Amino acid sequence: MRPVRRLWIGPAVALGLVAPLQFAAVTAVDVADPVAALTLFLALAAVVGASFALVAWRRWTAAAVRWTAVLLLTALLTIGSGLLAYAVLGEHTPFGRNIMLGIALFVDATILLPAAVVVLVHWLALRVPPAPAGPADTTRREGS
């Protein structure tokens, strides 16, 4: 598969598969405005896609793609666990503990978890770097 096509697999999966599932989940639960949650997810998916595109443009190696995926997943996990810890352990949350817990669970389940799926899809598509471009093999085979 061509490198440019592999770069577009992540955004295509984010828009074609993950975004409709996320939109349906938010609509079914009827917790918040589904369009706002979809907008936040798509913005985060764009950041993920831009990060992987930058890595592929600068130096496309298996290690660079792997470290990008690890760093992005670590950032998503840190944000999610930080929100949840603040909601559970915070003494003086501005909105009250139950509302903050609901907000933290909402952000974790409807924005950060689908973004983690997009990171994994990018990693799967880009983990093998393209073959170096060079001249065609012009050696003669024996018996030709």
Where are the extended beta strands (E) located within the chain?
none
The pLDDT value recorded for residue 78 is 94
Per-residue pLDDT reduced to its tens digit, 32-80: 678 888 888 889 988 998 998 898 888 888 888 899 999 999 999 999 9
Contact 84, 108 (CB under 8 A): yes
Contact 142, 68 (CB under 8 A): no
Per-residue pLDDT reduced to its tens digit, 80-134: 999 888 888 877 766 677 788 888 888 888 888 888 989 988 888 888 777 666 5
Distance CA 46, CA 52 (A): 10
Distance CA 96, CA 59 (A): 47
Q: Supply 35's token pair.
A: 């369009």
Contact 6, 126 (CB under 8 A): yes
Distance CA 90, CA 92 (A): 6
